Amino acid sequence: MHKSKSISLNAPRAIIIGGGATGCGVARDLSMRGFKVTLIEFGDLGSGTSSRFHGMLQSGARYAVSDTEYAAECMRERLNIANTAPEVVEQTGGLFVTLPDDPEGFDDRFYTCCQEAGIPVKELPPEQVMGEEPNISRKVLRAFSVPDATIQPWGLVNLLADDIRRRGGEILTRHQVTDIDVTAGRVRGVTAIGQSGERRIEADVVINASGPWSARVASLVGETANIELGKGSILVFSHRMVSRAINRCRPPTSHDIIVPTGTISLFGTSSEVVDTPDTTHVRPEEIQELLKNAEPLIPNIRNYRAFRAWAGVRPLFRPQGWDSDKPLSRRHSVINHGDNGIDGFYTILGGSLTTHRSMAEDIGDRICQHFGLNESSKTADIPLSKSSKKSDWHPVGNYKNVEKTQNFGSPICECESVNKEDIVSLIESHGINHLHDFRRRSRVGFGPCQGTFCGSRVASLLAEYDSEYPSKNDLGKFWTERLKGSIFTSWGQQAKQLVLSDSIYRETLGIRLDKDILPVEDCR
């Protein structure tokens, strides 16, 4: 195999199914090892589980007691991401607090296990913590600081994708794999259908990295994947009511964490086993359960403005013979379907966004071994960032920029402080032509108004650049999609906001709800 940067003509060809953090991580790892990669994603990059969680970059402390070895892996990876992609990481720090209800003695074990896992843990006086975090309970008994952080999931996935493309890899979004070709016990390629039609792509190795959809993809070749689908729902509040990610100091279960991200906070996570990976509907009872369980940690939580709820489906690996009462490990697992006579087909399961890189390294090692290649992973050492400037992501970065440039003239999105120039540069440099793509790239429509004011402004800019832009349909889709997440939180101020938004879209603009995507069952 050639060691040049360009892809050799006889380079092994890999197809990765799934464009979340795992799939993108695997694609990057393999392209750095000289593979010619094609990544196929059913929806948009990072639109599944990768963006449907609380956005934490785990120090591993959460799993220190239950799985010290995995906790140590999280800590190593957390440091690595912060070094290689600082612009998508906010160094919030994390806290674990013991409240009167939490099991006695857990905190001592927690402290010891963090030390064993190599997680820098420090006990802080409760008075100090309650002083620094005025919104949390006044009943904190003990508190520990750990180096948790938060991450911009779409930022990470886009950095990985840009890097894959730079190395000559191909990324197909909005393409569904309909067939995996297996001939004479070997995988030969896949068939995918996209907007431009059906396409057959040849490959020497196919990696199923489709998270909760893994079992569905594996079934295309009659294979199974041992996953348990754990739906987790999250409630979003319009204030940054804590400055650090705060966990209850107890065995990790549900409803025990609040995470500040950007200008907002997320409380989560509920947990229930579901049948299908498409179940991202948050039921009213789940919202009540989240609120009830948040109150011991944040007593005044009902008086904060919740403006959205979402759910993601975790693809947890369930080893055979696992005791059903025991919580499933968060570790990942690689299935080599070659053991069942399908040479070159792999499935990667479990893990987390924090460990996406080490997961990719693990499967990359196995694949290289299979091909007899002596190429080791380089992802830990080569920065993901394009710029050499190392600055962390900052929640008020946009606002600071407005102050610096004194450009108050053309705000498009007041909630997230996005200007006309930001949108125009996305249109001109990335050819983005749908409101959803703008949202993921620029945070337009992420804030408390949920696209009430910015939707038509962005659509007007798009219409200015593209006379074929289907403004009525795109606005209808955008608004209906935003409503799907915010309708769950129609109380207090957000109920007013929803009525105002409805008045603007239907009465003033004349946009109707998009009937095709109306049901709360998600269409991703």
Partner 1 sequence: MKTDVIIIGAELDGLIAATRLVEYGYTVRILAVGAGSLHYSSAGEHVLGFDSSEQMVKNPFEAIESLNSHHPYRRIGTSNVRLALEWFYKKNDGSNILSVSPAGLGIPVYRALPWQATFDDIKNKNATIVQFRNHGDFTAHLASNELNRAGYKVSVLEFEAPDVFSKNAALAKSFDRLEDPASFFLGLKESLSDETEVLLFAAVMGFKDHQRIMNEAEKIIGIPCREVSTLPPSIPGMRLDDDLTSNLKQQKVSIHSGVKIIEHRSNGSHCIAVTDDIGRSYEASIFIVSTGGVLMGGLDIDSHGNVHETSLGLEVYQSEPLSAVSVDTSLHALHMAGVETDNELRPLKGYRNVCVTGRSLSHWNPAQESSCEGVCISTGWVAAETAHNQLMGMKNG
Hey, how many other C-beta atoms are within 10 angstroms of the C-beta on 161? Answer: 22
Q: Work out how close the CB of 293 gets to partner 1 at its nearest, in angstroms, rounded to a whole number.
A: 13
Interface region with partner 1, contact rule CB under 8 A, candidates 84-92, 137-145, 241-249, 483-491:
483-491
Closer of 199 and 472 to partner 1 (Cβ): 472
Q: Work out how close the CB of 311 gets to partner 1 at its nearest, in angstroms, rounded to a whole number.
A: 12
d(CA 104, CA 100): 9
Interaction residues for partner 1, span 397-456 (CB under 8 A): 409-412, 420, 453, 456
Q: Work out how close the CB of 496 gets to partner 1 at its nearest, in angstroms, rounded to a whole number.
A: 6
Q: What does the DSSP 8-state code read for residue 70?
A: H
Q: Work out how close the CB of 220 gets to partner 1 at its nearest, in angstroms, rounded to a whole number.
A: 32
Q: Which residues of 275-298 are buried (b: 16+ CB within 10 A; e: fewer)?
A: eebbbbbbeeebbebbbebbebbb
Q: Work out how close the CB of 398 gets to partner 1 at its nearest, in angstroms, rounded to a whole number.
A: 16
Which tokens sit at 210? 């489709």
Closer of 255 and 281 to partner 1 (Cβ): 281
Which tokens sit at 365? 């090692």
CA geometry: angle at 351 spanning 348 and 354, to 5°? 125
Give the binding-site size for partner 1 (rule: CB under 8 A): 55
Interaction residues for partner 1, span 247-306 (CB under 8 A): 281-284, 287-288, 291, 302, 306
Q: What does the DSSP 8-state code read for residue 142?
A: E
Q: Is 503 in the site for partner 1 (CB under 8 A)?
A: yes
Q: What are phi and psi of 499, to 5 degrees?
A: -65, -40
Closer of 19 and 485 to partner 1 (Cβ): 485
Closer of 383 and 411 to partner 1 (Cβ): 411
d(CA 135, CA 346): 47
Q: Is 524 in the site for partner 1 (CB under 8 A)?
A: no
d(CA 119, CA 57): 13
Cβ burial, residue 434 (10 Å; 0-12/13-18/19+) = middle
Reduced to 3 states, what is the DSSP secondary structure of residue 62?
helix
Interface region with partner 1, contact rule CB under 8 A, candidates 41-49, 84-92, 105-113, 467-475:
467-475
Please enumerate in sequence order all residues whose Cβ is within 8 A of that of 405, keeping only pairs 6 or more positions apart, or say none. Answer: none
d(CA 192, CA 180): 9
117, 229, 313, 498: which one binds partner 1 (CB under 8 A)? 498
Q: Beta 245-248 vs 94-98: how paired, if at all?
A: parallel
Q: Is 396 in the site for partner 1 (CB under 8 A)?
A: no
512, 516, 523, 524: which one binds partner 1 (CB under 8 A)? 512
Closer of 193 and 487 to partner 1 (Cβ): 487
Closer of 333 and 419 to partner 1 (Cβ): 419
Angstrom distances, CA of residue 247 to CA of 56, 238, 254, 327, 424: 11, 19, 11, 18, 40
Q: Work out how close the CB of 523 gets to partner 1 at its nearest, in angstroms, rounded to a whole number.
A: 12
Q: Work out how close the CB of 401 gets to partner 1 at its nearest, in angstroms, rounded to a whole number.
A: 17
d(CA 55, CA 370): 35
Q: Work out how close the CB of 513 gets to partner 1 at its nearest, in angstroms, rounded to a whole number.
A: 6
Q: Work out how close the CB of 175 gets to partner 1 at its nearest, in angstroms, rounded to a whole number.
A: 28
- Residue pair 441/158 in contact (Cβ under 8 Å)? The answer is yes
Q: Work out how close the CB of 280 gets to partner 1 at its nearest, in angstroms, rounded to a whole number.
A: 12
Binding region for partner 1 (CB under 8 A): 281-284, 287-288, 291, 302, 306, 409-412, 420, 453, 456-457, 459-461, 463-464, 467, 469, 471-472, 475, 480, 483-484, 487-488, 490-492, 495-496, 498-500, 502-513, 518-520
